[in-house]
Amino acid sequence: MLRVVVLGAAAGGGVPQWNCGCPICRTARTEHPELQSTQASIAVSTDSEHWFLINASPDLRQQLIATPQLHPKAGQLRHSPIAGVILTNGEVDAVAGLLSMREGSPFTIYAHAKVLAILKANSIFNVLSENNVRRQPIAVDQAFDPGLPDGSPSGIEILPFAVSGKGAWYLEGKVHPGGNDGAGDTLGLRINDKATGKYFYFIAACAGVSDELKARLAGAPLVFFDGTVWRDDELIAAGLGNKTGQGMGHIAMSGDRGAIAALDGLDIGQKVFLHINNSNPALLGGSPERKIAERAGWRIPADGTEIVL
């Protein structure tokens, strides 16, 4: 059985964001605390005993406290069910949580060579001693089994693939430690339980949906997809920033070329938005935008949502 727990559904900054007084952040602090959401990450397991994180958000510590499946096993002084962390990009909201995993438990980080180069270039990540935290490169279009702590296969097959996107924001205009060319900065993942053949897709950052991506996703039982903004110019229109969704490497939910239209009619079993920015009106239950998304078969998950395939 393939189990997925949504540890966090929000984009960078979370909901509410520490310095944001937008209507959604304000209401999340006051009348509607149920809107509060931590930064995007999921946990995956096939045996309910060993878990793999997809990205390590800055809110990881809070997410682990809130998720009993990820607590140390009863009777053990030091233990974690987390066997590995798979990184799909090098953004702060995908890697900063690694710094909260520095207390000596062994696990493996799986990431593209470009993202591993970012970790290597930032010496603060050396708090994860290479003696117990292995860094394993993964490559586009090459499936891998992340493996259990004793070296045996986990039975989970993960296929990374390139999706259109951008390098980490803080590297814009800078020399990328992994080189400025080629794919690898933004990965999608196909995660497959080999025993049952059940699988799902994780695509938390995506700038546009190509015909190739549509063909890939068609018929999938479950897709987690980039839900950063409702409208491409949402941050500008709200006076919150000067970047468009596209400028940040994120497709909008709405519009002719948005995610809802692009993934319509693909016979996907469950469509779940992830990485939702606090400016996105689809976060608000009952909003016209939320209704449009739900009518099109999309779900905006609360933190802690568990999906079993």
Q: Which one of 24-32, 123-131, 144-152, 214-222 is the stretch in contact with Zn ion (CB under 5 A)?
A: 24-32
Tell me how far, at minimum, the Cβ of 300 lies from Zn ion, in Å.
16
Amino acid identity at 240: L
CB atoms closer than 10 angstroms to residue 139: 13
Q: Which one of 148-156, 171-179, 214-222, 276-284 is the stretch in contact with Zn ion (CB under 5 A)?
A: 276-284
Q: Which one of 36-44, 93-101, 126-134, 278-286 is the stretch in contact with Zn ion (CB under 5 A)?
A: 278-286
Whether the CB-CB separation of 174 and 121 falls below 8 Å is answered with no
Closer residue to Zn ion (CB): 25 or 35: 25
State the DSSP string of 177-209: TT-SSSS-SSEEEEEEETTT--EEEEES--S--
Tell me how far, at minimum, the Cβ of 61 lies from Zn ion, in Å.
22
Question: Which three-class secondary structure state does DSSP give residue 217?
Answer: helix
171 binds Zn ion (CB under 5 A): no
- How is residue 241 written in tokens? 């920033």
62 binds Zn ion (CB under 5 A): no
Tell me how far, at minimum, the Cβ of 229 lies from Zn ion, in Å.
12
Query: Which of 55, 88, 278, 280 is the binder for Zn ion (CB under 5 A)?
Result: 278
57 binds Zn ion (CB under 5 A): no
Greatest C-alpha distance within the chain: 55
Rounded CA-CA distance 12/278 in Å is 9
Query: Which of 11, 22, 40, 87 is the binder for Zn ion (CB under 5 A)?
Result: 22
Closer residue to Zn ion (CB): 40 or 223: 40
Closer residue to Zn ion (CB): 105 or 287: 287
The dihedral region occupied by 150, where left means phi > 0, alpha psi between -120 and 50, and beta the remainder, is alpha
Query: Which of 2, 20, 128, 272 is the binder for Zn ion (CB under 5 A)?
Result: 20
Contacts 24+ apart (CB under 8 A), 281-286: 281/24, 281/230, 282/227, 282/230, 282/253, 283/15, 283/24, 283/35, 283/37, 284/24, 284/27, 284/35
Closer residue to Zn ion (CB): 90 or 281: 281
Closer residue to Zn ion (CB): 20 or 101: 20
Binding mask 235-274 for Zn ion (x = CB under 5 A): ----------------------------------------
Q: List strands edge to edge, sheet with 107-112.
A: 133-138, 107-112, 82-86, 51-54, 41-45, 3-8, 306-308
CB atoms closer than 10 angstroms to residue 119: 21
Closer residue to Zn ion (CB): 63 or 278: 278
Q: Which one of 23-31, 144-152, 226-234, 285-293 is the stretch in contact with Zn ion (CB under 5 A)?
A: 23-31
Whether the CB-CB separation of 24 and 283 falls below 8 Å is answered with yes
Rounded CA-CA distance 68/106 in Å is 19
Tell me how far, at minimum, the Cβ of 234 lies from Zn ion, in Å.
11
Rounded CA-CA distance 39/97 in Å is 10
Query: Which of 4, 9, 25, 128 is the binder for Zn ion (CB under 5 A)?
Result: 25
Tell me how far, at minimum, the Cβ of 166 lies from Zn ion, in Å.
22
Q: Which residues bind Zn ion (CB under 5 A)?
A: 20, 22, 25, 278
